[in-house]
Amino acid sequence: MKTQQVHHPIPAPSALLAPGNIVQVEATGQGLKIRTSNSYIEISAYSPSVIRVRMDKRPLGRDFSYAVITGPETTGTKWQEFTDSLVFSTDSLDVVLQKHPFSIAFYTKDGRVINEDVAGMGTSWIGDQVTTYKQLQPEERFIGLGEKTGNLDRKGSGYVNWNNDSYGYAANEDPIYSSIPFYIGLHDHLCYGIFLDNTFKSDFNFGASNNRFSSFGADGGEMNYYFISGGHVADIITDYTTLTGRMPLPPLWSLGYQQNRYSYYPDTEVLRIAKTLREKKIPADGITLDIHYMEKYKLFTWDKKRFADPVKMNKELESMGFRTTVIVDPGIKVEKDYPAYEDGKAKDVFIKYPDGHPYTAQVWPGWCNFPDFTSERGRSWWEDKVKFLAGTGVDGIWNDMNEIASWGNKMPFNVLFDYDGAGATTIGAHNVYALEMARASYEGAKKSFKERPFILTRAGYAGLQRYTAIWTGDNRAEDDHMIAGIRLLNSLGLSGVAFTGMDIGGFTGNPSIALYARWIQIGAFTPYYRGHTAVNTKSAEPWTFGEEVTEIARNFIGLRYRLLPYIYSAFYNATQDGLPLMRSLAIDYSFDDKVYDTRYQNEYLFGPGILVLPFESKQAFGEAYFPNGIWYDLFTGEVQKGNEERILKLAYNKLPVYVKGGSIIPMQSLIQSTAQLPKDTLILNIYKGESDNRYTYYEDDGRSYGYQSGDYYKRDFIYDQANGRIILKKKEGNRSSNFKSIKLVMHGFGSQQHFSIEGHEVGFKKDFVALLTPISKFDPQGVANPLEGEGVLSHVIRNSDEQIIIELK
C-alpha cells in the first residue's frame, strides 16, 4: 500500500475549493467523522465490502435517500493513525485517507490498489458543483451507468444524468430518459462499483478528453457515494441491489408477448387485434392502450364514445387470455369541474412556483398541473386515484412523460417540490420525479388491484427496480437502434434493473420486413417483450409484414412461451440476488478482452445459460465470439468450442442462439397465453459441459402474493460434472409443482444410452425436440434443423418432491 505524494502543488484559484488538510478525527461506531480545513466528511462501513463516503463544504445535513433502502449491517472495523495518513479497515478492504491534503484510496487486504483519488485533486467544489477525480488505472474499463448509449466499455466517454424526453433519439444521444448514477470499474482482475447517490444533474467522465482521471460529480448537494468492492461483477450488482432494493416478482402474464400501438381505439379495434392474435395462433398475453383511450387525454377517464363499457371490454379480453395495460401521464388538465383537477387542487397536491401559483405546462390535454410525487400527500393522492383504473378491470399501469415532459421540454428551475419534507427545486428533484411516480403507481396498484400489478415507466432513478419495469422510450425503426437498444438493456442490467424492454420494430418510422423479422426474434430474448409503433406509422402487428414474417413471429414468440419456466425462474432469482435476465457477457466473462470488442459487445446471455448473438437485419454474415466453455446451437445441437471467433452465415428467419454446456434449461409445451395451462410434463434440457453448475428452478401461481407466505415450489438442479451426476434437490415451499412428470432431455452425451436414476438402470431413447416449427413452404431446409439424432436422449420420470439423483457414468 502506497502513500500518495503531491508533486509541485499550486494554489487553487478562489473559485475552486478543495477539502484541505485533516484537522480532526472522531470514531463513530462503524465509521469516522473527519473535519478538514474546508470540509466535513463521514466514512462509514455498510458491510465488509461497501464503504460510504459523505463530503460537503458545509456541515452534513439530513441523511435521506430515495434510492438506498438499507442501513449499515453490523461490520467489524478498526482504524489506525499514522503521521501522514489514517487507515480505516474492514475484513475485506483497507481505506487509506491521506491527511495533507485529504484524499481517499481503496486497497485489497494484500495491498493492491482498487481505486484511488488523483493525488492533489481528489474532491473539490466550484460554487455548489462538486466533483471527485479518480486516478485512471492501467487498462481500466468502465461498464454500466444505466440507460446510456455508447459502447459496453465506456472508457474515453462522458455522460450526463438528467432525465430527458428524447423523442426519436439518435442511437448515440445522451442523456435520454432515466438516471442511474452507478457504474462498475475493472482492472488487473479487480472490480468495484461506485454509486453516486445524488439526485442533482450529475456528470461522469471516464477518461474523456484527458488521460489522467475518471470523475463523477453533481451540480449541487453532497458528494455522497458508495464504494463497492467484490470478487466478481455479479457480486458488485448484488451488493448494489442490497442497497437500492430488488424487483418484486412480476405477474406471469407480463412476461408473455404484449401488443401495442399508439393507439388502438375504439374498443372494437382492440378486440379485433386480440382476436386476430388468437386466430393466427400468435401467443400473446397483453394489449396496451395508449393515450387515446382517455376522454380528451384526461387522466382517470375513459372516452365514452370510443370505450362505452371498458369493464365489459376488459372482461372479454380476459376471457381470451389477455390482460390490459393503460398509459398514465403526470399532467392533470386544468379544467373546471374535471374531478381529478378539482380534487388535486382541493388537497393541495400540485407542485408550485415560489409565489404559490401551481406550475402549469402544456402536455396532451392542454395546460396541466402536476402532482408532487416527492411528497407523501401527493403520492397518497395518486394511489387513491389508481382505484379508478382497478375498477375498470385494468391489470397494468404504464407511466409515461414522467421526466417531466412538456411542450418546450424546458421546465423552469424555480419550481418547488416537497422532497419528503426537505424542500427542493427542480434542480434537485427533477431526476427522482419519475421514480416517485412509479412508486405511487405501484403502491396504489398493490392496494387496489386484485392480483400482482404490472408497472412500466419511461424514466426513473436508481432504485426504480423496486417498483417498475422500464422500456427505452421512443426509439426508431432502424437497425442501429435495434442494436443500440440491446446495449441499453444490457447496461440497465449491469445497473440493477432486471425487467427491461424496448419497442419491438421501433416506435418512430416504418421497419423493413427484414428489420421487423430480426427484431421480433431478438425480442423473444428480452425481459419485456412488447411490439409498439407510433400513430403516424404503418400498422406493425406481425401479420402486417406478410405470411412468412407471421410464421417467424409465431415461431419465436412460441419459443418464448415454451421457455417461460426458464424465464420465470430467472425473474425469481433476480428478486433474490439482483442479477438481470439479460446479461452482458461482462458479468460472467469480465476480464475476457474479446467481450468488449465492438464486434462482439452486443452479445449477451439470456438467463444464465442461453447465448444470444444479435445482428443487423441487412447482414448476410456476422462475426461472432464464443467465450470460454462448450456451446450448443439451440436449434441444431451443433457443438461449438469456446474461446473462438467465427464468421456465421446468417439466415433471415433464424437468430443465432446457443446454450452453454453444463446448463439446465426447463421448458414446457406450447401455450397461447399464460391463462392456458401447459401439458403436465416439464421438459428438462441438460447440456453436457466441462464444469459444475447449480440452477434454481421456481414456480408459484404467477398471480397472487401467496408466495410470500410459502405458497411456492422451488428446487435446485445441480449439474455435478466432477462426479458425473445430475441432482434434482428436494423441493422447497408448500406448493406442488404444476408438472406431474419430468422429461429429461440429454444433449451432447453422444452414444451413451443408459443412465442410472436413483440406483436403477434406465434406458434413454433418441428424441425429437422441435424448438421451432419448420417453414417448409418458404425454406426447404426449414427455419431450423430441429434438434434430433445423435447426442439427444430422453426419458420421462415422475416429478417426485424428494431428491432425485441421475448417474451419468
**Higher-pLDDT residue of 29, 376:** 376
| pLDDT given at position 624 | 98
Q: Is 82 exposed, middle or buried (0-12, 13-18, 19+ CB in 10 A)?
A: exposed
In a domain? residue 725: no
**pLDDT score of 130 more than 90:** yes
d(CA 521, CA 651): 12
Average pLDDT over residues 527-543: 95
**Structural domain span for residue 21:** 16-244
| pLDDT given at position 766 | 80
**pLDDT score of 354 more than 60:** yes
Q: Mind listing the pLDDT tens digit for each residue in 192-233?
A: 999 999 999 999 999 999 999 999 999 999 999 999 999 999
**pLDDT score of 3 more than 80:** no
In a domain? residue 61: yes
Average pLDDT over residues 397-406: 98
Q: Mind listing the pLDDT tens digit for each residue in 684-730?
A: 999 999 999 999 999 999 999 999 999 999 999 999 999 999 999 99
In a domain? residue 780: no
First-residue to last-residue Cα distance in the chain: 50
| pLDDT given at position 706 | 97
Question: Is the preceding peptide bond at 263 cis, omega within 30 degrees of 0?
Answer: yes
d(CA 439, CA 449): 15
DSSP per residue over 571-619, as a string?
A: HHHHHHH---SEEEHHHHSTT-GGGGSTTTTT-EEETTTEEE----TT-
Lowest mean pLDDT segment, chosen from 394-403, 575-584, 751-760: 751-760
**pLDDT score of 598 more than 70:** yes
Please list the active-site residues: 400, 403, 474
| pLDDT given at position 764 | 83
**pLDDT score of 789 more than 50:** no
Indicate the helix (H) or strand (E) that contains 296.
none
Q: Mind listing the pLDDT tens digit for each residue in 774-788?
A: 443 434 343 433 344
pLDDT band at 1 (very low <50, low <70, confident <90, very high): low
For residues 650 and 620, the answer to whether their CB atoms sit within 8 Å is yes
The residues facing 659 across adjacent strands are: 610, 632
In a domain? residue 291: no
**pLDDT score of 13 more than 70:** no
**Grid cell of 337 as nine digits:** 369541474
Q: Mind listing the pLDDT tens digit for each residue in 636-682?
A: 999 999 999 999 999 999 999 999 999 999 999 999 999 999 999 99
Neighbouring CB atoms inside 10 A of 83's CB total 7
In a domain? residue 717: no
Q: What is the mean pLDDT of the chain?
A: 94
d(CA 481, CA 166): 14
In this prediction, what percent of the chain has a pLDDT beyond 90? 92
For residues 551 and 229, the answer to whether their CB atoms sit within 8 Å is no
Strand order in the sheet with 582-584: 582-584, 604-606, 610-612, 657-660, 630-633, 639-641
Strand order in the sheet with 741-747: 664-667, 681-687, 741-747, 787-798, 765-769
The distance between the two most distant Cα atoms of the chain, rounded to a whole number of Å, is: 83
The residues facing 788 across adjacent strands are: 768
Q: Count Cα neighbours of 50 within 13 Å in the Cβ-side half-sphere.
A: 22
Average pLDDT over residues 481-490: 98
Contacts of 649 (CB under 8 A, 6+ apart): 620, 621
**Grid cell of 25 as nine digits:** 478525527
Contacts of 611 (CB under 8 A, 6+ apart): 603, 604, 605, 626, 631, 657, 658, 659, 660
In a domain? residue 105: yes
In a domain? residue 772: no
In a domain? residue 665: no
| pLDDT given at position 754 | 74
pLDDT band at 763 (very low <50, low <70, confident <90, very high): confident
**pLDDT score of 274 more than 50:** yes
Q: Mind listing the pLDDT tens digit for each residue in 221-267?
A: 999 999 999 999 999 999 999 999 999 999 999 999 999 999 999 99
Q: How far is CA 671 from CA 59, 256, 293, 321, 679, in A?
A: 61, 10, 29, 11, 9
Q: Mind listing the pLDDT tens digit for each residue in 320-345?
A: 999 999 999 999 999 999 999 999 99
Q: Helix or strand or coil: residue 377?
A: helix
d(CA 247, CA 708): 14
The residues facing 417 across adjacent strands are: 424
Q: Which amino acid is at 774?
A: P
Percent helix, strand, coil in the chain, to 5, is 20, 30, 45
The residues facing 363 across adjacent strands are: 366
Closest CA to 250 of 443, 453, 445, 450: 453
**pLDDT score of 107 more than 50:** yes
CATH number for the domain harbouring residue 119 = 2.60.40.1760
For residues 273 and 541, the answer to whether their CB atoms sit within 8 Å is yes
**Domain count of the chain?**
1
**Higher-pLDDT residue of 766, 290:** 290
